[in-house]
Structure 1
């Protein structure tokens, strides 16, 4: 979000002062700055995507491992007549009620981080003291 705001700010500043940029011949300089900021933004987005995908794959892997372990242990108990097949199926269904909220919590974490960053940026804006207007009486 910070990199995105930097590039947006640079583009807005460039466009609002385009007459000055053109008259001074700074077009190439601003294009180079915007390109550099864009590549920084892309690097940050790629690293975020890698971490996000790694986290999602880890959650799916752990879920699959738990399911395999439960089914393996349960099938051994069913074979040894220590557990009924219906009990194993019921336990496996109940396991879904446990793992689904955990997966959703793991998927919620990046959204919470983005909201926290947005909150910090909003607080930065709100803490800036406003300019006092001089009252003119006619």
Structure 2
């Protein structure tokens, strides 16, 4: 079942001007060195290694998107509601997820953590995020 779009989110919105700055920042950072050298990406690679996943075979979403941006110089247009959010995350290298809404019970909200959340970590244990500052 497809969920209705939020009010104000329309397919025709032009996000190009807003995204230009974000993509410019990501390109500047990539010009200084490859994404594999970014401390944030190195942290993901260490985590993947600890899980037994070869980190250059199984790349985190942030690294994959940054590699694509470096290789192609641009990113393809994604679905209007998701594309701007994913592209805006490039300069800060935040992992991006694609979710199957048919497997999610209840509402899904993306926001900074307040510290009360609980989730199942990659190692199978319950974890709690630090509150966002």
* Structure with max Cα Rg: 1
Give the shorter-chain TM-score range. Answer: under 0.3
Q: Which has the higher helix share?
A: 1
The two structures have a TM-score, normalised by structure 1, of 0.22
